[in-house]
Amino acid sequence: MASTVIGAGIVIEGEVESDEALVIHGTIRGKIDSKESVAVEQGSTVEADVSAREVTVGGNLTGNVTAEGRVVIATGARLIGDVKAARFTIQDGAQFKGHVDMDV
């Protein structure tokens, strides 16, 4: 089945919990908790603490990120917040401000 998609025009204020993948084009303020991947797409705005198996940031994300797998900040994306993940990638042209904890 299709995973959850939050469209570009949608604004969510509150708590989101998902067993499946989450793709965000719109705006979320609050808290995101997913057992699968979370993709913050280009043009989206997320002001939330994100906890997921895998997090990919292509848009604007403000909040702490916790992932069992990897966290990727793509080109043109911006992440402000602390990252706790096993693997962490910042692509060329991405902006990041925060603390990184990779369980070293």
Partner 1 sequence: MAAPISRGQTAASVLAEGLTLTGRVAGSGDLEVRGHLEGEVDLEGELTLAEGATVRANVSATRVVVRGALLGDVRAGDSIVLEASARVVGDLTSPRITIALGAQIRGNLDMSEAETTRIVPATRPAVVSRPVETRASAPAARPMAQKGPITPAKPVAVTRKPAPVVAVAPAPAAEEAPAAEEPKADAPRKEPPSPVVPAIKKGQKAQPKRKAHEAK
Residue ranges in contact with partner 1 by CB under 8 A: 1-23, 25-27, 30, 35-43, 54, 56-58, 72, 74, 76
CB of 98 to partner 1, least distance (A): 19
Nearer to partner 1, 93 or 98 (CB): 93
Rounded Cα distance between 99 and 19, Å, is 27
CB < 8 Å & 24+ apart, contacts of 3-9 = 3/36, 6/44, 8/43, 8/44
CB of 65 to partner 1, least distance (A): 13
Nearer to partner 1, 13 or 101 (CB): 13
Contact predicate 60/42, CB 8 Å: no
Contact predicate 36/51, CB 8 Å: no
Nearer to partner 1, 51 or 56 (CB): 56
CB of 88 to partner 1, least distance (A): 15
